[in-house]
Amino acid sequence: MNLTRRDLARLTALGLVARFVPSLSASTPATKKTGYCVIGLGRIAGHFMPAVRNTTTSLIAGLVSGHRDKAERIAAEYGVSPSSIYNYENFGDIARNPAIDAVYVALPNSMHAEYSIRAAKAAKHVLCEKPMSTSVADAEAMIAACKAARVKLMIAYRCHYEPTNLKAVQLIRQGALGQVQAIESTFGFNIAPGEWRLNKKLAGGGPLFDVGIYSLNACRYLTSEEPEHISANASIIDHDGRFNEVEENVSWTMKFPSGIVASCNTTYGANMEGFYRVHGSKGWLQVDSAFVYQGLRLRADFAGTQLDELNPARDPSHFQAEAEHFSNCIQNGLEPKSPGEEGLRDMRYITQIYRSAGIAI
């Protein structure tokens, strides 16, 4: 079968290439898959790694862990060469590993800056979990290090790549709700004792850093604006040993330049669903749950339209979309939609919220 370039273009447009000319499709020279070195093999890495395996553009190429045994088991599962397993001391050796294009920083918050900067110095692109850091200064240092090393830096804001959240943003930008006036958002959970999240040195702070950041970030992407006035209250109610270092509850209000106002709550003392509701002159929309890994539901009522859409996508689809986006940026020289500067902004607002609530940061 001889196919001209024009034949191929027509078949491609019809979506028939993969179906009828698989051999030809498969033989098209592929862009090299982006190889990720996963730093920290905890809970969230357990979502990221299978997500990467589901992509056609990315693979797991290295692991960093303090537990060699665990790393070897995972390496076998993901086809990672044992020579691409590192520990926290020899991590810098990734510089000499051409299979590794990027790192995924999945460590406790306070270690994000150090490992992102070390990765940049090893000339590897950086995909860093949120919150980006535990201080504005660290976030700035991360951005500077990646700029100096000419590597890309993306903060892993899953919701920026997740269809239900994107649809909410799109409806608002299209004016479906008319003029947006106000937003409520919440996210929290009843934390178990002993979690590293309760250690201020590791976590930077309490629920605001960990889950409240979703509400903060959502208010920003839903409005496409940056808050100009922020006020907050924080508290510790349960003196049961969990909250010796970080706050239990934070409630805050924000005002955006257009006049849109937002009120948010976060907690480590109650299971508080990830939620937002946006009120506009023509109607409202809400996503509930909005920030979990699956089961996102968008409801809306505006100008005679009612929506109730449960997103059937299953975990780890958010992580897959995120990895695909960053790999695409690396492979095609594009800027990530959620660069370091996006994480830095949240760090600045988090700092303002804590200051307003009288919490030292």
Residue 218 Rama label (left phi>0; alpha psi -120 to 50; beta): alpha
Rounded to a whole number of angstroms, the minimum distance from the CB of residue 243 to a second copy is 10
Query: Which residue among 124, 130, 167, 200 is the active-site one?
Result: 130
Taking the C-alpha atoms of residue 95 and residue 123, their distance in angstroms, rounded to an integer, is 6
- 226's tokens: 């940056």
The catalytic residue among 86, 104, 214, 293 is 214
Shortest distance, CB of residue 313 to a second copy, whole angstroms?
A: 24
Q: What is the dihedral of CA 153, 48, 133, 264, to 10 degrees?
A: 110
Structure tokens at 256: 């955006």
Q: Cα(293)–Cα(319) distance, rounded to whole angstroms?
A: 9
| Between 28 and 224, CB nearer to a second copy | 224
Tally Cβ neighbours within 10 Å of residue 152.
22
Sign of CA dihedral 190, 195, 201, 202: negative
Residue with smaller CB distance to a second copy, 62 or 227: 227
Helix (H, G, I), strand (E, B), or coil: what is residue 348? helix
Catalytic residue list contains 130: yes
Structure tokens at 159: 């919701």
Question: Contact residues for a second copy (CB under 8 A)?
Answer: 178-179, 181-184, 186, 188, 190, 229, 231-238, 248-255, 258-267, 269-272, 277, 279-281, 283-284, 356
CA distance 183 to 222: 9
Min separation Cβ 109 and a second copy, Å? 22
CB of 277 to a second copy, least distance (A): 8
Rank residues 103 and 264 by Cβ distance to a second copy and give the closer one. 264
157 given a catalytic annotation:
no
Closer residue to a second copy, CB minimum distance, 266 or 311? 266
Active site positions, annotated: 130, 214
